[in-house]
């Protein structure tokens, strides 16, 4: 009887091993890279409002909502140059300072999107390599990861102050090199055309989410493999397609 039970245990162990191997082989991607602001964190309105408030403080041209939202995802200085192109060169440094003043005064209250935490934890538990590629600076991202408790779930991160800003492919190329994952096994998730264009430039697939900074029609023009409204849809899409 003992021999039979031991034999059954071995068979069950082999079955479990085969099942795990089959799940791994069925995975379409090994690495999933998330943008942060407007994708994982619901910060679009606060970022746009902080840009506008900074411009008002310095008596500069205040960009409209569409313009202020469009630059989200770029590095901060690049974003401000696009949002306020007529500002004198010497005003960009104080503009950065005023932007940070307004953003940081609200930073602690910015939530993650509904189901973002649960989705990322589920992906991490399923064995995916996870990363962040963001227009934030290093201090800003580190603070966000610490304050939300999400830092432990990401294997690599890149910020716009440490490499090229989106849509340059450097963030994705560096993450893939660090984690030793090929482009065809990598997926980018983002809410802006900057994210999707970066993915195109790096030769990786991309999924767009419509709950962030850029409108759906602009995202659709860049032909992501899926365009989803929120993390509830994204979580289900992962279970079937990733």
CA pair distance 43, 145, nearest whole angstrom: 14
What sign does the CA torsion over 124, 126, 131, 134 have? negative
For the chain, what are the domain ranges?
Answer: 28-42+112-241, 44-108
pLDDT at 228 exceeding the cut of 70: yes
- Out of 37, 191, 195, 205, pick the active-site residue: 37
Q: What CATH number should be reported for the domain whose range is 28-42+112-241? A: 3.40.50.1000
CA pair distance 201, 190, nearest whole angstrom: 14
- Cβ contacts of residue 140 below 8 Å, gap of 6+? 159
pLDDT, one tens digit per residue, over 90-111 is 999 999 999 999 999 998 899 9
65 catalytic? Reply is no
CA pair distance 41, 97, nearest whole angstrom: 22
Q: How far is CA 25 from CA 19, 29, 30, 242, in A?
A: 10, 10, 10, 11
Secondary structure E strands in the chain:
31-34, 129-134, 156-159, 186-190, 205-209, 226-228
Confidence of residue 65 (pLDDT cuts 50, 70, 90): very high
pLDDT, one tens digit per residue, over 116-172 is 999 999 999 999 999 999 999 999 999 999 999 999 999 999 999 999 999 999 999
CA pair distance 33, 171, nearest whole angstrom: 10
- Out of 30, 35, 191, 195, pick the active-site residue: 35
35 catalytic? Reply is yes
**H helix runs in 58-137, sequence order:** 65-70, 76-83, 92-104, 116-125
pLDDT, one tens digit per residue, over 174-202 is 999 999 999 999 999 999 999 999 999 99
């Amino acid at each position: 009887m003992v021999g039979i039970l031991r034999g059954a245990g071995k068979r069950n162990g082999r079955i479990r091993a085969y099942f795990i191997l089959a799940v791994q082989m069925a995975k379409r991607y090994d690495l999933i890279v998330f943008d942060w602001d407007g994708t994982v964190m619901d910060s679009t309105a606060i970022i746009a409002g902080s840009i506008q408030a900074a411009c008002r403080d310095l008596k500069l041209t205040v960009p409209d909502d569409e313009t202020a939202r469009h630059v989200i995802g770029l590095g901060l200085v690049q974003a401000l140059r696009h949002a306020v192109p007529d500002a004198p060169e010497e005003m960009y440094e104080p503009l950065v300072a005023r932007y940070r003043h307004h953003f940081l005064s609200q930073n602690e209250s910015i939530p993650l999107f509904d189901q973002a935490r649960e989705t990322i934890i589920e992906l991490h538990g399923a064995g995916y390599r996870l990363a962040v590629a963001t227009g934030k600076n290093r201090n800003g991202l580190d603070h966000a990861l610490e304050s939300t408790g999400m830092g432990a779930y990401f294997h690599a991160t890149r910020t716009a102050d440490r490499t090229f800003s989106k849509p340059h492919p450097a963030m994705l190329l560096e993450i893939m090199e660090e984690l030793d994952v090929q482009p065809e096994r990598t997926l980018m998730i983002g809410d802006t055309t900057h994210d999707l264009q970066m993915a195109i430039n790096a030769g990786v697939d991309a999924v767009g989410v419509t709950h962030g900074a850029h409108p759906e029609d602009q995202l659709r023009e860049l032909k992501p493999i899926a365009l989803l409204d929120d993390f509830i849809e994204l979580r289900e899409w992962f279970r079937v397609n990733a």
